[in-house]
Amino acid sequence: MRAALEESIAGRGGCFLISGEPGIGKTRLADELANYARAHGVRVVWGRCWKEDGAPAYWPWLQVLRACLDSIDPKQHRLLLESEVASHIGQDIAQIIPELRPMLEPRRSAPAPKLDPEQARFRMFDSVATLLKHFARSQAMLFVLDDLHDADRSSLMMLRFVAHQLAETAILIVGRSGDACNIPAEFP
């Protein structure tokens, strides 16, 4: 795991899953990696899944995105989310983080084309990946997604998408799951 972290610091990100029976040290391993990462100047952000009713879709990702956005000045939020390069990013992410909507200036351009649900989901996943890669340009990132065995299907789909975007980034994602059987075989 340390070698993977060092690879990600060098711009070769990756994704790992820690799984196994209760009590074998999965949480300890994730905590030790997080401490090692912090000691090497890596920003560590945790997202925790919630198995009880009431959690919104993408819950661990909402925690990750909010923590990243909270780390920058509100003026930078607007600049980042209304980038000319990808002007739709703010609107896409505001779909899952509605508190961003008030800070996004209404666009005077033509309305965005209607996308079918699969295209809209793909575009949102791409916007999330793009935003996370942006944050990793200024500081290497370790995202720990805890209790993935309790994750909703949407969160796992986003994880799979983002994991495929990590090759040339300073991002390492570590998922921790108490039951590998609940993680789809194709992960990631």
Query: What CATH number does residue 155 fall under?
Result: 3.40.50.300
DSSP one-letter code for 89? H
Does residue 85 lie within any of the structural domains? no
Largest CA distance in the chain: 56
Q: Who has greater pLDDT, 178 or 162? A: 162
Question: Is 96 inside a domain boundary?
Answer: no
Answer yes or no: is 61 within a domain: yes
Instruction: Give pTM, 2 decimals.
Output: 0.86
pLDDT tens digits, residue range 61-90? 999 999 998 887 776 766 666 665 556 787
Is residue 31 situated within a structural domain? yes
Do residues 159 and 175 make contact, with C-beta atoms less than 8 angstroms apart?
Answer: yes
Contact 99, 58 (CB under 8 A): no
- Residue 159, domain member (yes or no): yes
Residues in the chain: 188
In a domain? residue 59: yes
Q: Judge whether 101 lies within some domain.
A: no
Predicted confidence band of residue 184 (pLDDT cuts 50, 70, 90): low
pLDDT for residue 9 is more than 90: yes
pLDDT tier at 23 (50, 70, 90 boundaries)? confident
- pLDDT, position 70: 86
Looking at per-residue pLDDT, the higher value among 65 and 107 belongs to 65
Parallel, antiparallel, or unpaired for β 43-48 and 141-146? Answer: parallel
| Per-residue pLDDT reduced to its tens digit, 109-132 | 445 568 888 998 999 999 999 989
Cβ-contact 124, 88 below 8 angstroms:
no
Report the candidate in 17, 22, 20, 21 with the shortest Cα–Cα distance to residue 4. 17
In the predicted structure, residue 188 carries a pLDDT above the cut 60: no
Q: How many domains does the chain have?
A: 1
Task: Please give the pLDDT value at position 106.
Answer: 59
Q: Which range of residues forms the domain containing residue 157?
A: 2-76+126-180
Candidate from 40-54, 60-74, 81-95, 136-150 with smallest mean pLDDT: 81-95
Q: What is the DSSP letter of 165?
A: T
Q: Tell me the average pLDDT across 55-65.
A: 94
Residue 186 lies in a domain: no
Judge whether 152 and 55 are in contact, CB under 8 Å: yes
Nearest to 23 by CA among 183, 178, 186: 178
